[in-house]
A and B are shown apart, each in its own frame.
Chain A
Amino acid sequence: MLVHISNLIIPLIILVVLLYGTYKRVPTYETFVEGGKEGVKMAISLLPFLLGMIVSISIFRASGALDAFVGLIDPVLSFFHIPSEIVPLAITRPISGTASLSIATDLIKTEGPDSFIGQLASTMQGSTDTTLYVLTVYFGAVGIRKMGDALKVGLVADFIGIIASLFVCYLIFGS
């Protein structure tokens, strides 16, 4: 049921935007092309970030260190029904956007996009943002030196997001 709705969301958004744009007399195609150029720039600027991080993570995985780490924490996590493969992603998600995106990519690739881990990694990556980045950018831009409870609130919220992803994925995709 939910999977069907998921597949409907994007086509529906496209339909609404195109029809509403036409109704508002926006030069739709020209505007689309204009915005699309930004997409090219965005993808290209992402390349060095992703490449550097993916190489580093691949070294970590190929050496066997990742498996050793996962094996080490597995006994504790399996008790809570948490797949240990997801832990590196959960740890890096609040700290670095590119690191977590690279780890999610690695999981999707090695475990398969339609496996439970692949679905969980996709959900986790998409459902929260990088707290440390958000704090640095926004507080840095306006010169706030005393952050108050912002970091604590952000990190607790991330933790809730990770638990929520786990819970939702178990409910929807089963295991």
Chain B
Amino acid sequence: MVNIIWVALAAIGIVYALFNGTIEEVNEVIFTSAQEAVTLTISLVSVLVFWLGLMKIAEEAGLLEKLAQLFKPIFTRLFPEIPANHPAMGYILSNFSANLFGLGNAATPLGIKAMHEMKKLNNDSSEASRSMITFLALNTSSVTLVPTTIIGIRMQYDSMAPTEIVGSTIIATFISTIGAILVDRYFYYRRQRRLT
């Protein structure tokens, strides 16, 4: 899918430029934009180093587990098929806490472990279980407290207030997560109705 988008953008652009007489602009932008991507990535280093460094402290201090405990009552309701003390629940909670702090790299392996445990609960079937679908719905709506990369990009382009979007992002993410949970429930009850 990424391959198609990538090629289509460039190919359509070049063909369009041939007819539109903008080939000179296109030629120039190929090199300036590549240069710019390098500058941008280097500017992202500052934000990522600081944030991941800080979050490592949070992890070592056990803040992530504290947070997981806080969310446990909600999650046992969200995943009624998983026993509260099953390892799957632990992994789901740690995955959620890691995502909350923008630790995508730490969240993914935890999420995969959660999926393994959920598969065991589902008798090793190759079909997605109800819990798995709920888990993925939560993950795609991604609850993040601090959108680090975007803040870095805003800084790079001289924002007066790089972090002013934190509030709007949290509210939007909250709404989309509630939405994801509701949609997930709706599809679940629809499946149930079909079975009976």
Q: Which residues of A contact B (CB under 8 A)?
A: 2-3, 5-7, 9-10, 13-14, 16-18, 20-21, 23-24, 26, 28, 31-40, 42-44, 46-47, 50-65, 68, 92, 94-96, 98-99, 101, 104-105, 108-109, 112-114, 118-119, 122-132, 134-135, 137-139, 141-150, 152-154, 156-158, 160-161, 164-165, 167-169, 172-173
Contacts and interface: CB of A to CB of B under 8 A. Distances in A.
Given A32-B57, A150-B136, A44 B41 contact: yes
Contacts of B139: 129, 134, 138
A31 B12 CA distance: 48
Interface of B: 1-2, 5-7, 9-10, 12-14, 16-17, 20, 22-23, 25-26, 28-30, 32-34, 36-38, 40-42, 44-45, 48-63, 105, 108, 111-112, 115-116, 119, 126-128, 132-133, 135-137, 139-142, 144-147, 149-150, 153-154, 157-173, 175-176, 179-180, 183-184, 187-188, 191
A99 B175 CA distance: 24
A146 B122 CA distance: 13
Contacts of B172: 123-124, 126-127, 161, 164-165, 168-169
Given A154-B136, A160-B176, A126 B57 contact: no
Given A63-B16, A150-B133, A5 B167 contact: yes
Given A59-B26, A129-B139, 10 more contacts: A42-B48, A53-B6, A60-B9, A63-B13, A109-B157, A119-B168, A142-B115, A148-B191, A149-B133, A164-B171
Contact of A47 (B14, B16, B41): B41
Given A36-B49, A39-B49, A64-B17, A146 B144 contact: no
- Which residue among A17, A129, A158, A169 has the maximum number of chain B CB atoms within 10 Å of its CB? A129
- Which residue among A104, A105, A145, A147 has the maximum number of chain B CB atoms within 10 Å of its CB? A105
A34 B30 CA distance: 37
Nearest to A97: B2
A-B CB proximity, top 8 nearest: A35-B56, A126-B147, A161-B176, A160-B179, A113-B159, A36-B53, A157-B180, A39-B49
A54 B35 CA distance: 10
How would you classify the secondary structure of chain A's contact residues: helix, strand, loop or mixed? helix
